[in-house]
Amino acid sequence: MKSAEIITIGDEILIGQVINTNAAWIGEQLSCIGVAVIQHTTIPDERRDIAKALKTATNNADLIIITGGLGPTKDDITKTALCEFFQKKLVLNDEVAKHVEKLFSRHGTQLLAVNKKQAEVPEGCRILTNNHGTAPGMLFEENNKVYISLPGVPYEMKGIMEEEALPLITEKFNLGAIVHRTILIQGIGESFLAEKIKDWADGLEKKSIGLAYLPSPGLVRLRLTAKGLDRPNLEKKVGIAIDALKPLLPKHIFGEGKTTMAEVLGKLLREKGLSLSVAESCTGGNIAQKLTSIPGSSDYFKGGVVSYSNEIKVGLLRVDAALIEKRGAVSEAVAIEMAKGARDHLKSDLAISTTGVAGPTGGTEEKPVGTVWIGLATTKGIWAKKFQLGENRERNIEVTALTALNLLRLELVNNNL
Amino acid sequence: MKSAEIITIGDEILIGQVINTNAAWIGEQLSCIGVAVIQHTTIPDERRDIAKALKTATNNADLIIITGGLGPTKDDITKTALCEFFQKKLVLNDEVAKHVEKLFSRHGTQLLAVNKKQAEVPEGCRILTNNHGTAPGMLFEENNKVYISLPGVPYEMKGIMEEEALPLITEKFNLGAIVHRTILIQGIGESFLAEKIKDWADGLEKKSIGLAYLPSPGLVRLRLTAKGLDRPNLEKKVGIAIDALKPLLPKHIFGEGKTTMAEVLGKLLREKGLSLSVAESCTGGNIAQKLTSIPGSSDYFKGGVVSYSNEIKVGLLRVDAALIEKRGAVSEAVAIEMAKGARDHLKSDLAISTTGVAGPTGGTEEKPVGTVWIGLATTKGIWAKKFQLGENRERNIEVTALTALNLLRLELVNNNL
């Protein structure tokens, strides 16, 4: 199995100002194509340290991926270090120069001398096009080792990896087949999930299928992995395992791979020709933001009201002020009225509402932090459901938003809306 | 200056299943006490790899901190590797044995053989008490180098570092001082910023102040660093440099350190006793979400309307339908009407509006993807400003949200609202 070391350049990471999410992401991608990640190394923005790390990694791994230190400002010395290591000169690359110029002219901004320097690369390297920024990726080969240098800005790095580097690595290392499928699960914690699917999970081992639990707030991703030479056979084997899993979690599995809950729901709404609006109190815009993060969502998402104050609940959603007074803003009755108000006044077919105590303050004995009501107004009725979440504000907001979207998804799938 | 390497043990980190927040946290703590963190290294749960990493780190740094691989199940590997490296035997430590027993009896749970093994440590090491779990921290000294081994569970690791390790490191290394300050800058790209502050940045070198640019969508963080013996003097030196920077970027500097734009703006609103509402089209709830992510934001944030459809712009914000027809939804006039509508109908003192083409679709020759209008309604008037952003939807939404919040912040600061 080919091995990889990931070198991250950046003082800001060493001193903990920035958390190294790049190395984690690259580690995940490499594992997925069957490369063994054997080391992450983070070093300072210093030529000497970069040179030393390159030398050590060369003795360690087959593939060396370097991120960071490729921006237009002068704390970037990676290219000089690469030139020294490979004993090459910096030369102007016409292809990159044109790309940088095009990016700047498109934004109508002026090209500066520092930007022009970005088109200089070590002689003989292969350029990996950066479709999301000016600093190019670079690939070097020497003594059967592959070196890839990438900018540190996450979305630029990810773009180059996905569009250019990963296919090249797979090709150059002649990697065997590896099949991954990731099942997305909402509304059940990792421990309960493990208990519920224990027999199924035990059975995977005999079939040489690897299983990993990847939890995040409100979600668990289950990744199945099979390795071998015969891809169609691996795909079939993993497919059978997934088919056997689905009936065990009818309410929780909402999708697969890189999709999101908002994307899955959006697709359903589009298919059924139904429109949606939201009335958000405790989620404060998080649901709207999730829905509108999907390109083309304006086709089915009408919009929403973030009714953080009771005044807005009354004024825009026409919730009865006396009802809020009597039952409290965090109550079944208010969640129902909010959903109804959104559906009626934002003129949509369906509506979601949320009202709760996200924390850390605002909790009472009767309604402690983490108390949340989610309301749904559909073509078949209006109802609300209570959830008792934890104490972490950020997590409560995220879990509420995902749970609300999943509740609506289940209505669409199961209730024939 | 004393240097440190942080070694993290864990396959789950290498393959990106877990992000290495431990290394970031330790890096931050060490920087703060004046130790130069020169490397983070992550390696597999393998004795051979641990031994190799210890050897390399010994040649590299004065202080080696190892985390992970000390749980009740993985115990053996790290401790055995440490025993081999220091050529010591594993011996039962009575102090740790009593601590483990006490913890178990407190929880009323039964002590297992694996837990008893946790009281075994390499002979001659100094125990660092773990008040939050069973696996002890361990400190070794050899040839003027200090080695500290810590469990990987974040709250256990942090407890041992704060209560035991950091004071010991400061004492043993007789540490000098290091001062970091990070300035937060919005609304100017890295290249333009570098050009604008070139003379100032050149002057820092003479004063032995280090400078780093840390960009993210819509933001650049500028970090200044000074090292020496006399902390008050370093603080003064960096403070003078920052005072000289501020007049160069009057519109762009919004804060310092770990704060966020929403937090800075929230604080201003609270101080001035002003309330805010938002009318979001292209940002789709992102601004509301940023504002409501701050605990206690309901004191000044009334709420918002996500007016994704024109119907909602007309229905809830009372934008004139004929105006939308004539000028288009993405226009100065509509941005102004949206801000006015939010202020009037959500009954707030101030309002922000956004309308634009986030992309990837919806662009026209006249209004290409990335065209954005931001509107502001304040106690002193209403206006809107146009921005031409890029092609990345996610980035356009993020940059628009931050720009809108900064525009309002500038009004509050400069226009005496």
Judgement on whether residues A233 and A91 belong to the same structural domain of the protein = no
Nearest chain B residue to A154, by CA: B216
- Give the residue from A172, A197, A212 where a domain finishes: A172
What distance in Å separates the CA atoms of residue B121 and residue B98, rounded to the nearest whole number? 14
How many Å lie between the alpha carbon of A232 and the closest alpha carbon of chain B?
25
- Give the residue from B256, B289, B318 where a domain finishes: B256
Tens digit of each residue's pLDDT (9 = 90 or more) over B33-77: 889 999 999 999 889 999 999 999 999 999 999 998 765 555 568
CA–CA distances in Å: residue B116 to residues A182, B95, B110, B124:
38, 12, 11, 19
Judgement on whether residues B15 and B57 belong to the same structural domain of the protein = yes
**Average pLDDT over every residue of A140-156:** 94
Tens digit of each residue's pLDDT (9 = 90 or more) over B261-295: 999 999 999 999 999 999 999 999 999 999 999 99
Answer yes or no: do B305 and A289 touch at CB < 8 A: no
Host domain of residue A371: 261-414
pLDDT of A416 higher than 60 = yes
Judgement on whether residues A56 and A135 belong to the same structural domain of the protein = yes
**Average pLDDT over every residue of A238-259:** 96
Judgement on whether residues A143 and A71 belong to the same structural domain of the protein = yes
Answer yes or no: do B192 and A295 touch at CB < 8 A: no
pLDDT attached to residue B93: 93
What distance in Å separates the CA atoms of residue B55 and residue A408, rounded to the nearest whole number? 56
Tens digit of each residue's pLDDT (9 = 90 or more) over A43-89: 998 899 999 999 999 999 999 999 987 666 654 688 999 999 999 99
What distance in Å separates the CA atoms of residue B275 and residue A37, rounded to the nearest whole number? 51
pTM: 0.80
pLDDT attached to residue A141: 96
CATH number of the domain bearing residue B196: 3.30.70.2860
DSSP code per residue over B184-251: EEESS-HHHHHHHTHHHHHHHHHTT-EEEEEEETTEEEEEEEEEES-HHHHHHHHHHHHHHHGGG-TT
Answer yes or no: do B361 and A295 touch at CB < 8 A: yes
pLDDT attached to residue B59: 95
Three-state secondary structure call for residue B285: coil
ipTM of this model? 0.80
What distance in Å separates the CA atoms of residue A186 and residue A261, rounded to the nearest whole number? 9
Chain A residues whose CB is inside 8 A of the B42 CB are 23, 39-41
Judgement on whether residues A316 and A273 belong to the same structural domain of the protein = yes
AA letter at A391: E
- Give the residue from A221, A256, A291 where a domain finishes: A256
Question: Environment class of residue B344 by beta-carbon count within 10 Å: exposed (0-12), middle (13-18) or buried (19+)?
Answer: middle
For B185, phi then psi, to 5°, come to: -130, 130
Judgement on whether residues A130 and A160 belong to the same structural domain of the protein = yes
Residue B300 gets which letter from DSSP? T
Judgement on whether residues A274 and A403 belong to the same structural domain of the protein = yes
Mean per-residue pLDDT over chain B, rounded: 92
Of A338, A410, A402, A400, which is closest to residue A380 (Cα–Cα)? Answer: A410
Looking at beta carbons, which pairs linking B103-112 to residues 24 or more positions away fall under 8 Å?
B103/B133, B103/B134, B104/B134, B112/B72
Tens digit of each residue's pLDDT (9 = 90 or more) over B377-390: 999 999 999 999 99
Three-state secondary structure call for residue A266: helix
Judgement on whether residues B246 and B279 belong to the same structural domain of the protein = no
pLDDT attached to residue A76: 65
Q: Considering only residues A34 and A404, tell me which one the structure prediction assigns the higher pLDDT.
A: A404
CATH number of the domain bearing residue B334: 3.90.950.20
pLDDT attached to residue A228: 86
Answer yes or no: do A288 and B292 touch at CB < 8 A: no
What distance in Å separates the CA atoms of residue B301 and residue B320, rounded to the nearest whole number? 26
pLDDT of B143 higher than 70 = yes
**Average pLDDT over every residue of A363-368:** 94
Which residues are bridge partners to B66 per DSSP?
B7, B149
- Considering its fold, how many domains does chain B have in total? 3
Answer yes or no: do B15 and A28 touch at CB < 8 A: yes
pLDDT of A408 higher than 70 = yes
Reading phi first (left if > 0) and then psi (alpha if -120 to 50, else beta), residue B203 is in alpha
Judgement on whether residues A240 and A313 belong to the same structural domain of the protein = no
Q: Which among B189, B346, B392 is the nearest to A132, CB-wise?
A: B392
pLDDT of A239 higher than 90 = yes
DSSP code per residue over A158-223: HHHIIIIIHHHHHHHTTPPEEEEEEEEEESS-HHHHHHHTHHHHHHHHHTT-EEEEEEETTEEEEE
pLDDT attached to residue B73: 54
DSSP code per residue over A313-381: HHHTT---HHHHHHH-SSSHHHHHHHHHHHHHHTT-SEEEEEEE--SSS---SSS-TTEEEEEEEETTE
Tens digit of each residue's pLDDT (9 = 90 or more) over B192-219: 999 999 999 999 989 999 998 888 889 9
Tens digit of each residue's pLDDT (9 = 90 or more) over A287-314: 999 999 999 999 999 999 999 999 999 9
pLDDT attached to residue B247: 97
Q: Which of residues 54-83 of A touch B (CB under 8 A)?
A: 56, 71-75
CATH number of the domain bearing residue B94: 3.40.980.10
Three-state secondary structure call for residue B319: coil
pLDDT of A109 higher than 80 = no
The answer, for B266 touching chain A at a CB cutoff of 8 Å, is no
